[in-house]
Amino acid sequence: MFSKWRERLRHTLGFRLALWYAVIFIASSLALVALTYLLLAASLRQYDRDTIETYLVQFAAAYARGGANGLAREIRRIEVAAAPGLLFVRTVGARQDVLFLSMPEPWRRFDLSQLATPSLSGEQTWATLHTGDGGDVLEVASVRLADDTLFQVGMSTQRRAELLRRFRRVLLLDFASIILIGLAGGAVLTSSALRPVRTLAETVGAIMRTGRTDARVPVQDTGDALGELGTLVNAMLDRIDAVLAGMRGALDNVAHDLRTPMARLRGIAETALASNDPVTLRDALGECLEESDRVVAMLNTLMDISEAETGTMSLHVEPTDFAKLIQQTVDLYEDLAEERGIKILTNAAALSVPVDRNRMRQVLANLLDNAVKYTPAGGRIEISATRDGPDAVLSVSDTGIGITPDELPHIFERLYRGDKSRSARGLGLGLSLVKAIVEAHGGRVTVHSTPGGGTRFDLRLPIVLPTFHRCNPPDMSR
């Protein structure tokens, strides 16, 4: 199905783009050719008229100097030198009598009465004579001299028409070439332009056929929209890979760590059934309920970690007063700390940080719970919040048992529990959740610890979140 869709897309889109390119290219070329032809025709027409006006001035001067004989000599000289047999010259007196007429014999069929005659001295008019049988066309300029003599000079437009006729034939050949170039160029350019789209379609098709998401679209740094599309598709595939990897990791951890609680549940149930004692049965049910709560808590925490690590955790980011948030969390553990003889000290500056209040309270609760759990009686826990440039730094330090250098690189791994922490009740997910939530806010977590000398966790969060952290990502777990 996908291959058919891809072929249909390639043919229909490619054909439309090639056709549009060819149409625009041919239309623009045709407009340019037409404009060139019109300009050439106008230029030739103006050139002929300038020539006629030049002859008109020369012949009028010759007539004024030598009369009809002088005009005849000047006409013969011009015809011999420049325009043999192509000139029409007529002089009409004040009484409408023809004083002089020179025109080739084939032009005798022109109706000279159609010539417009100017009524005022110095006024010039133009007229075009047609024979009506598709033959020569005569263009005539008329001017009335000061003595009321009418002077008329004309030329045939045959040379101009023949030149334009040849030019039209050349333009037809050029236009045919333009059509071929437009069609071929449209096909080549469309094929080149759609190559990234075809590559994208092939990559997506390979993913759909094989189910593997490790394929990537080859992207060239062209800076255009298609290159950006390929980059975005690769980023989306990276995001999908991260989500799938998180899901696989969570499933592996769940499958591995559910064995112990499930085996414990089975052992409790078998022991209770074998005793057949109501009191033992009641106690067994209580233990089963407690163990199931631990399993549910572990599953929920693992899902939270996976969502945070893959960027699908829904964060309701809003400006949060860190000092108030720290005090609220400390109030939850103050009684427990007093029972164990531990002091909790806070030193929080006035900071408003854009975070998810509930998730950040969860982070503080996990850190404070670990600090209370692993700090001996008489110890001290300090919580501080300060600003360091563009970041807010939240520190939780204690005077507890510390962490060995061998265990320190692994404390943020899921379900990892160090040797000294195995005696304390827990899931081994608290620090993994802390790291995932902080990084989902665009921050980072560092830890410093000395065995027997205490531990300090530093949370660095941006005061102004990057754009992709401000927006609440979609909840893909639904």
Give residue limits of the domains in the chain: 2-162, 241-310, 317-470
pLDDT of res. 80 = 65
Quote the CA–CA distance of 418 and 427 in Å, as a whole number.
12
pLDDT (0 to 100) of residue 256: 65
* Mean pLDDT within 220-228: 67
Residue 262: how many other CB atoms lie within 10 Å: 13
How many Cβ atoms from other residues are within 10 Å of residue 91's Cβ?
22
Is the predicted pLDDT of residue 352 greater than 80, yes or no?
Answer: yes
* Measured distance CA(360)–CA(357) in Å, rounded: 5
Please say if the pLDDT value at position 143 is more than 80. yes
What phi and psi, each to the nearest 5 degrees, are found at residue 103?
-160, 145
State yes or no: pLDDT of 85 exceeds 90. Answer: no
Quick: pLDDT tens for 372-397: 988 999 999 999 999 988 899 999 99
Residue pLDDT, tens place only, 412-439: 876 665 545 444 455 567 788 888 889 8
Structure confidence at residue 251 (pLDDT):
66
Confidence (pLDDT) at 206? 75
pLDDT at residue 312 in the model: 65
Tokens representing 157? 């437009």
Does the pLDDT value for residue 128 go beyond 60?
yes
CATH 3.30.70 fits 2-162, yes or no: no
The residue to which tokens 């000047």 are assigned: 74
DSSP 473: P
Report the pLDDT averaged over residues 426-454: 85
**Per-residue pLDDT at 393:** 93
CA 215-220-222 angle, to 5 degrees, is 145
Overall average pLDDT of the 3-16 stretch: 56
Give me 102's structure tokens.
């020179």
> How many Å apart are CA 294 and CA 468, to the nearest integer?
34
What is d(CA 286, CA 281) in angstroms, rounded to the nearest whole number? 9
pLDDT at 255 > cutoff 70: no
Q: For 314-329, what is each residue's pLDDT tens digit?
A: 788 899 998 999 999 9
| pLDDT > 70: percent of the chain | 81
Burial of 445 (0-12, 13-18, 19+ CB in 10 A): buried
Quote the CA–CA distance of 219 and 228 in Å, as a whole number: 8
Contacts of 309 (CB under 8 A, 6+ apart): 242, 246, 436, 439, 440
Average pLDDT over residues 112-132: 76
Whats the size of the chain, residue-wise? 478
Q: Which amino acid is at 258?
A: L
346 phi/psi in degrees, rounded to 5: -125, 145
Per-range mean pLDDT, top range of 167-181, 231-245, 272-286, 295-309:
167-181
> Phi and psi (nearest 5°) for 99?
-90, -30
pLDDT at position 414 is 66
The model's confidence at residue 398, banded by pLDDT at 50, 70 and 90, is very high
Contact at 8 Å (CB) between 158 and 137? yes
pLDDT of residue 455 exceeding 90, the answer is yes
**Beta strands at 150-156 and 137-144: parallel, antiparallel or unpaired:** antiparallel
The band of 222, judged by pLDDT with boundaries at 50, 70 and 90, is low
Does residue 83 have a pLDDT over 70?
A: no
Show Cβ contacts of residue 186 under 8 Å, excluding neighbours closer than 6 positions: 17, 18, 19, 20, 21, 22, 25
User: What mean pLDDT do residues 356-369 have?
Assistant: 90
| Residue pair 234/217 in contact by the 8 Å Cβ criterion | yes
Confidence at 132, pLDDT banded by 50, 70, 90: low
Distance CA(187)–CA(22), nearest Å, equals: 9
Q: How far apart are CA 128 and CA 277, in angstroms?
A: 130
Mean pLDDT value across the chain: 79
Is pLDDT of 247 > 70? no
In the Cβ-directed half-sphere of 472, how many Cα atoms lie within 13 Å? Answer: 10
**Residue of higher predicted confidence among 134 and 449:** 449
Most confident of the ranges 43-47, 146-150, 472-476 = 43-47
Domain 317-470 in CATH: superfamily? Histidine kinase-like ATPase, C-terminal domain (3.30.565.10)
Its pTM stands at: 0.46
Q: Is the pLDDT of residue 472 over 50?
A: no
313 vs 362, residue with greater confidence: 362
Run of H or E residues at 369: helix 357-373
pLDDT of residue 477: 37
| pLDDT of the residue at 229 | 75
In the numeric block, which tokens belong to residue 28? 């623009």
Residue 467 scores a pLDDT above 50: no
Do the domains spanning 2-162 and 317-470 agree at the CATH topology level?
A: no
Q: What is the pLDDT of residues 272-281, one digit of tens each?
A: 778 777 888 7
Copy the structure tokens of residue 471. 């927006």
